Structure 1
């Protein structure tokens, strides 16, 4: 394949990541400090693998040791200020904070018997250790995750302390400082609660799995496979971005990281073909953000969902339920980019620009680890067991690939480096889940979740669509600048109960807030994934955000669809119902896409665009009469398109 675009340099990628993704702003050490960090990261991964294989430790021990590793490493790796002049040098106060972080993590293992037998009674040392734990978690989260979730957590702590002074239905008896400290660090209802539990077990292993996928070359193979499948099609590079980003989401779990990684390849390719900068960036941002919605691995928040919903639900149940909505999401983006390419008269890549398909398809065995995850989960294996075996299979595939392809590089050194890379990636998740545990603890102790759920229903006058709308707005606002994990924890404890009170299945309610928490990454005015894409494309950030939200319009519709019609989640449905709902939804998105872009088989005038959007929404709404009306209008629009197609001058690549 010829060099069809100039990809941005590694240095430029890192600058963009550091600007929009706090987790990428780590210090780069050299010399002896580099080896200290390396050994600590490796020890972190070895501890997690050891407990996964031999058996998880008691909850307080497993979670506190996990937290101690994370806190200690965060203060060594992440500076207090983003533009710190000593980014590559150790700072004395960070050494102190790091030692305190490790110490807090070691406090439970060193005092386990005493703390277990004296539940409810704290001595002065316990109290100050608890205070230190709260403050260290807040500061570590600020450094590695960002300020929004930190501020929200502080507000929740203040709410717990000053409950009697709260207005209206928010009032409560208040929690004393001693009781609050006890809840936050000496029970499994606060920092050491369910979110950190999932981080210290399932999530860490899947982050390791992602690190091994990168080292074995699966990540780069996704791009080659995407180009081979979609490159020659109309507007091929945009479709390559959609396809590769859906696959890359399996590895990264971060919208911003996905944008910069795959976007450095796809965005220049789209620009060269003729797409505008902001549209090219919007395509990549929308597709990369959707990577977290794509099973079998849907980002850290999906693992939390297993614990939050409970009731015997498995991760496979969630992945299966999310499959059709994810398919519809990417279908919607595909349709929109196709119509835009037709409107601009853009073609696909030339034969000379394409890779050798035979050589690419010969390496399909690199997808074995992804298939292994699906099969293992389908056969009823636990999430941890599936993750462990997937790591083993990935390592095996890496060595097999090295034997079959002389250009491939995978060695024992790469294996060890993958262990440290996985641990480094886990730091942000550990901080976010620990901080989210503060929020969950306050909600549990004050009953705030039920109060806000009831208040939301009152505001919506017990109308389902209004309740969904207000929940969507809350999820988007809370998700601005916050990681998906923390956003899901907040919305699932505050907003999801309101939907459940309306009689909606728990899984549909939780997926609803999960979707919109993720969509915050491409929803202006704070759209971090879109802004990162604008940085790669050298485009205008806000305009890129508008384009990404427009392209992902399906994601703003699909959650309403599966709440109103749980058949899309394969809940209590037949194959006949499922096929009908999916078929009408795809037809509806085609009509909406044509109306938004302004092109179908020819350019649409303003009236046709409005009719097309209306017909699409009628088809998407899961109700018999609206489907029938929408289908009639849809067919009529297609007929009219063909009748008048020849009378309209086809656009050239210079138009639009």
Structure 2
């Protein structure tokens, strides 16, 4: 039954992925072109593995080679125009590809000369640097899309037109020579922290994910989720929540996650009785949350580690409870909707057996456990990912049904290199934005302006930061969104006393939640495409299910103990318990159901009571708990009355 359901929608999943995930819109080359791309991609991966084993090169050299490989592949795989052929490379793209490889290598070839000149830029240096900026913008346009490019161009214009800008945002300005030198010949611009993280941690984690996929980890997660929750009330929807959460630990793309697991779970949900808009929303919400789920969160989490100078293992620890609260909120919404509609799960006979799955494929989980152990033990993320890659290949050999051969290993190298291109283009373009910010002091100016606009009020500042992150998330990928908001909005929160990690995590959360927030909710629209549902309604359903994600960031800003910051055990337990109960109340108010249908007044009461419980404070907790207890007793009385009436 499961196989049939999966096949039912797999025909249009690739089309949906291309429509909603710009990074998937690449050529499918044949013949010599395909072999050329494979050779470059495999060499790219081998270079990254080599530097991980024997040591990273000097920052500018490592990052230049990384960009050279990436741009060479981007211009070969992503056509300048959609109308250009997809099975062969257009001559213009071939020229761009050669330039994309050659221009960054200028720094490698003339590295000693550039260092000895100590910032003095010759005419040739200027021409190469200007061409590099153009190539970065064009690569981002092809892979990430126009919104990211538009933002970068606006920042460049701001740098050049500083003296003519009125008000507090004015600055002394920069000429084109100085701007190009800053963006291309320092580690403050294109070769800054974002591309540095891409050229070390991120690449290896994406390669690790590619090998996990080769071993069949994705299907294993789906089967495990079915065995655990497929039989429960509204089973397939809970399977979607579990499987997508598990898949998110190895996948950094909300849309790809939706398509990967949604082609299986969405048809099952529809068959059980869920409306198409709700089925698509469940998958979209669960898949989006995957980027919040440790141990392998989205690429932005690695950037957060570098920006905040916080060990990655601390980022993981901080993310655990908020991520679990997010998924608990989605799970609760799914459960209440299933109860409201009277939906039951699948027959146990139709589901895989948990014990059999663990015996047959349980060894596949070892690399994930190993990477957690290595990170906790003090290994760098790069070394942890490297050892996990080797372990994932080795572990797959233990059983015939999971064993990968030499061809799979080589294909994994190619798949990993392809997988990093979206992050590479986004981080290189984000480097332009960061370069302008560091050059002009814009970050502090915008942060101060944001605080002034909110009149120093924490709640208003948080609200403005949330809106900024969501709006940016509608047009740019999570990685780039986080880079921008962490540069502009997060400092505003730090200015008014929010801990650095909490401020950055707040921006990170809402950048991700943009994927399920209308009017542009790419993950929800991808789910709607599979479910054959109305995209906007699917987006609104997804926002309702993700209600916890809109609350949790406020909780950990007001009480950083939720992020394991200066926390006492009892304090953390108390916050977690009140947050869980509060999320149940809010979810019931949003769904309009608890034990029976809620009246309008009851919905408001449950929502308000839930909000008061998730808001830190003894008095608010007491009042919120009292409201929910009274509401529950009223619901219980109504449920008993309905049972008597039916009897």
- Per the shorter chain, which TM-score range? over 0.9
Distance in 2 (CA, whole Å) between partners of 1:390 and 1:650 is: 59
* 2:336 counterpart SS class: helix
1:150 aligns with 2:144: no
Q: 2:372 corresponds to which residue?
A: 374
Distance in 2 (CA, whole Å) between partners of 1:229 and 1:136 is: 49
Any residues of structure 2 matched to 1:630-649 within 5 Å, and which?
A: 630-648=624-642
Q: 1:566 corresponds to which residue?
A: 560
Q: 1:485 corresponds to which residue?
A: 479
**Which of 453, 459, 465 is equivalent to 1:459?**
453
Distance in 1 (CA, whole Å) between partners of 2:6 and 2:458 is: 49
Count of aligned positions:
645
Distance in 1 (CA, whole Å) between partners of 2:166 and 2:234 is: 55
**Which of 585, 588, 591 is equivalent to 1:594?**
588
1:627 aligns with 2:621: yes
Q: 2:226 corresponds to which residue?
A: 227
Any residues of structure 2 matched to 1:506-545 within 5 Å, and which?
A: 506-545=500-539
* 1:275 counterpart SS class: coil
Q: 1:584 corresponds to which residue?
A: 578
* 2:250 counterpart SS class: helix
1:55 aligns with 2:55: yes
Deviation at residue 399 of structure 1 after TM alignment: 1.1
Q: 1:415 corresponds to which residue?
A: 409
Deviation at residue 12 of structure 1 after TM alignment: 1.5
Q: 2:134 corresponds to which residue?
A: 135
Q: Could you tell me whether the CA contact under 8 Å between 1:231 and 1:240 is conserved in 2?
A: yes
Deviation at residue 588 of structure 1 after TM alignment: 0.4
Deviation at residue 490 of structure 1 after TM alignment: 0.1
* 1:251 counterpart SS class: coil
Distance in 1 (CA, whole Å) between partners of 2:174 and 2:643 is: 71
Deviation at residue 589 of structure 1 after TM alignment: 0.5
Q: 2:547 corresponds to which residue?
A: 553
Distance in 1 (CA, whole Å) between partners of 2:439 and 2:489 is: 17
Task: Report Cα offsets for 1:149-200 as digits up to 9, x if no partner.
Answer: 1110010001000001112111000011000000111111100111000000
Deviation at residue 639 of structure 1 after TM alignment: 2.0
Q: 1:294 corresponds to which residue?
A: 293
Deviation at residue 95 of structure 1 after TM alignment: 0.6
Deviation at residue 105 of structure 1 after TM alignment: 2.1
Deviation at residue 81 of structure 1 after TM alignment: 2.4
Q: 2:439 corresponds to which residue?
A: 445
* 1:121 counterpart SS class: coil
Q: 1:608 corresponds to which residue?
A: 602
Q: 1:342 corresponds to which residue?
A: 339
Provide TM-score, normalisation by structure 1.
0.97
Q: 2:81 corresponds to which residue?
A: 81
Deviation at residue 352 of structure 1 after TM alignment: 2.5
Q: 2:66 corresponds to which residue?
A: 66
Distance in 2 (CA, whole Å) between partners of 1:200 and 1:341 is: 45
Deviation at residue 10 of structure 1 after TM alignment: 4.5
Using the TM superposition, name which of 222-231 and 359-368 deviates more.
Answer: 359-368
Any residues of structure 2 matched to 1:305-344 within 5 Å, and which?
A: 305-310=304-309, 313-344=310-341
CA 1:527/1:651 → structure 2, altered by over 3 Å: closer, same or farther?
farther
Deviation at residue 643 of structure 1 after TM alignment: 2.0
Q: Could you tell me whether the CA contact under 8 Å between 2:9 and 2:530 is conserved in 1?
A: no
CA 1:381/1:120 → structure 2, altered by over 3 Å: closer, same or farther?
same
Q: 1:425 corresponds to which residue?
A: 419
Provide TM-score, normalisation by structure 2.
0.98
Distance in 2 (CA, whole Å) between partners of 1:154 and 1:464 is: 31
Distance in 2 (CA, whole Å) between partners of 1:4 and 1:612 is: 41
Distance in 2 (CA, whole Å) between partners of 1:651 and 1:556 is: 39
* 1:200 counterpart SS class: helix
Any residues of structure 2 matched to 1:16-415 within 5 Å, and which?
A: 16-82=16-82, 84-310=83-309, 313-362=310-359, 363-402=361-400, 405=401, 408-415=402-409
Deviation at residue 3 of structure 1 after TM alignment: 4.4
Distance in 1 (CA, whole Å) between partners of 2:121 and 2:10 is: 51
Task: Report Cα offsets for 1:598-628 as digits up to 9, x if no partner.
Answer: 1111111111111010100010101110001
